[in-house]
A and B are shown apart, each in its own frame.
Chain A
């Protein structure tokens, strides 16, 4: 964009997209801020005027707040660890030349195409159901007592379900990174006397660091707002209430829009804290 003319033409061309995106973001954000300072109870008198920081104080001091933050962080952290570790292993496996490679790759990616609600319901009813689930049959087959996964280990079960959904994404990104690894480097390391494990540690892992960073950042953004899986499985019971879910309960179950909006602002702050934290740890990988 060298000339004055092409610069202004570019601005003109980009304007619709910029206006649309800004509107898309700014209007809901402004409304959330607006409602968070108002006492708004749709079924109990509607908009009852300004309340200052009352909503914020109530949301923050509620006994459900800190447990929900903790649940959110455990959920996000658990899914990240599982998807990144298994994703690396799967990517290395899929990179090996084998018969039916194309079909296997499509199968590995398939879970990503299943809607969150559907996959959570399939896991809940077909696998984890304590009476008819496949796992309970398996447990009974080896003589063990079936586990009621979603009430006995609810958060663990949710992490497994969500990891299953996000593993394809991690695998896909990591696979492309594995494939871009220079073969001559691996051969040079082999000649230098590096074992398979040290080649993984000294060559493959550093090569993947950038892809891992991207996987972690993108997944964190989406995982912080996980909702459908919790809604259709535990409904927020058994300590599976994340911050997102708590906000939903405040707005729709308690019919308190003001309180929920204040929670939404807290969620934005939490997401930013996590993002800054992640950028500090892993973001420097992106500079290279």
Chain B
């Protein structure tokens, strides 16, 4: 079990309110991602759940038990830190065993769980090494192993992939998703990378300045962003925003169209000049200037496109995929 409920949770450091009153429920077995730009309070929120920070007010419930005043070790949660926080003078085996040693679990049970975790995480050959002798990805797996053996109600991940290189990050992303499928344990995952959020989450919580901007599944957020902030944050490359006459025609203060929802069409209403064209093979991203709509429009074209720097181009937005926002940035319709 691992249902976590936050009720009117607030956190202030001195006079600075980091988290204004916030309500959120994370269901048992859910993979929930907190995403937002740096300084949005997502790590603080995770640390509040972990118990590493004290609540200023409000209640945290874990499986309907008030856990607000429970010390971190007694909450039944396991955390994987950004720096992995492995104990440098202990072997991998001792690192993984540490939480069980502290909980006085019998030795043979400890060994059984260590073997199981090591097998699941491909660490069997490295059990007697020290963390300093491992690569970044292996250290990450040891940190996860140390969390698994506790058999926690929920896993907390604090930007666990940000210290890895790009190729390894993709691999570890898959491994963590795989782990979630296998364990079916609640996971809360903090990241600033919307790609990680989109690929891994059952539920994404988009945060800005401590406020929850939107909660939903990845595709809900992609299709129906509540406001301009979520629309701009979710999706890569970023959504194009157009203000002025073109938006007013649709009765909005601004409109947003994703790069993949703009077609190159000879009879299109928008004209511009191709700036930089990024050829990825499978796709081509065109940065179009001089449209009179926005500084730059990003357009995704499928496959290889023969347009070069300085070529004129006409564009047609897919009308059903145009998002409309009012002056405050909230979604219209």
Contact = CB atoms under 8 A, between A and B. Distances in A.
Interface of A: 182, 184-185, 187-195, 198, 202-203, 206-207, 209, 288
A182 B85 contact: yes
Contacts of B86: 185
B81 A203 contact: no
A150 B273 CA distance: 94
Residue of A184, A191, A203, A288 most packed against chain B (CB within 10 A): A191
B87 interface: yes
Contacts of B78: 191
19 contacts: A182-B83, A182-B85, A184-B81, A184-B83, A184-B85, A185-B85, A188-B146, A190-B72, A191-B52, A193-B73, A193-B99, A194-B98, A194-B102, A198-B102, A202-B87, A202-B98, A206-B89, A207-B89, A209-B89
Nearest to B156: A191
A209 B83 CA distance: 22
Contacts of A193: 73-74, 99, 102-103
Interface of B: 50-52, 72-74, 77-79, 81-83, 85-90, 98-99, 102-103, 146, 150
Contacts of B87: 185, 188-189, 202-203, 206
A209 B90 CA distance: 13
Contacts of B150: 192
A182 B83 CA distance: 9
Contacts of A202: 87, 90, 98
Given A182-B83, A184-B82, A203-B87, A192 B77 contact: no
Contacts of B77: 191
Contacts, number: 59
A169 to B, nearest CB: 25
Given A182-B85, A203-B87, A187 B52 contact: yes
Sorted nearest first, the 3 A-B pairs with minimum C-beta distance are: A193-B73, A192-B99, A188-B85
A97 to B, nearest CB: 14
Given A192-B150, A202-B87, A206-B89, A187 B98 contact: no
Contacts of A192: 73, 98-99, 102, 146, 150
B103 A191 contact: no
A178 to B, nearest CB: 15
Given A187-B85, A189-B98, A191-B51, 11 more contacts: A187-B72, A187-B81, A188-B81, A188-B146, A191-B50, A191-B77, A191-B78, A193-B74, A193-B102, A203-B87, A288-B89
A interface SS class: helix
A99 to B, nearest CB: 16
Contacts of A188: 79, 81, 85, 87, 146
Given A198-B102, A202-B98, A190 B85 contact: no
B82 to A, nearest CB: 7
Contacts of B88: 207
Nearest to A184: B85
A190 to B, nearest CB: 5
A97 B87 CA distance: 24
A207 B88 CA distance: 8
Nearest to A198: B102
A203 B90 CA distance: 9
A202 B99 CA distance: 12
Residue of A185, A188, A195, A203 most packed against chain B (CB within 10 A): A188
Contacts of A190: 52, 72-73
Contacts of A191: 50-52, 72-73, 77-79, 99
Contacts of A207: 88-89
A190 B99 CA distance: 9
A191 B154 CA distance: 13
Nearest to B89: A206
A177 B84 CA distance: 20
A182 B78 CA distance: 18
A184 B78 CA distance: 13
Contacts of B73: 190-194
A209 B89 CA distance: 10
B156 to A, nearest CB: 9
A209 B74 CA distance: 30
A198 B88 CA distance: 16
Residue of A189, A198, A209 most packed against chain B (CB within 10 A): A189
Contacts of A185: 85-87
B158 to A, nearest CB: 9
A189 B150 CA distance: 13
Nearest to B73: A193
Contacts of B85: 182, 184-185, 187-188
B154 to A, nearest CB: 12
A202 B73 CA distance: 16
Contacts of B52: 187, 190-191
A84 to B, nearest CB: 18
Contacts of A189: 87, 98
A282 to B, nearest CB: 15
Contacts of A198: 102
A185 B73 CA distance: 14
A181 to B, nearest CB: 10
A47 to B, nearest CB: 58
Contacts of A195: 102
